[in-house]
């Protein structure tokens, strides 16, 4: 594991997470990342490094956001 590896899991599953000790150690050393996400948009942001974007008061998504590409 190089520090670039990781996994996305639903935040609601965190309480049920069971990991082998080698994964716990790798996460503690920053070599593996576990991202608990509440929404798909948060997962998209983690995977792409680009904001997902939220609609403004006129219903439009921000330029430069994933949702704004539609």
Write the burial class of residue 8 (CB in 10 Å: 0-12 exposed, 13-18 middle, 19+ buried): middle
First to last CA, the chain: 35
pLDDT per position as a tens digit, 11-69: 999 999 999 999 999 999 999 999 999 999 999 999 999 999 999 999 999 999 999 98
Res 70: pLDDT: 74
pTM score of the predicted model = 0.76
Q: Using an 8 Å Cβ cutoff, are 1 and 32 in contact?
A: yes
Domain ranges of the chain: 1-50
pLDDT per position as a tens digit, 2-17: 777 899 999 999 999 9
Res 38: pLDDT: 97
């Amino acid at each position: 594991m190089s520090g670039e590896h990781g996994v996305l899991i639903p935040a609601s599953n965190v309480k049920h997470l069971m990991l082998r000790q080698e994964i716990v150690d790798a996460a503690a050393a920053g070599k593996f990342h576990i991202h608990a996400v509440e929404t798909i948009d948060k997962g998209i942001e983690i995977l792409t490094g680009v904001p997902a974007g939220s609609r403004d008061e006129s219903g439009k998504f921000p330029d430069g956001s994933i949702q704004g590409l539609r």
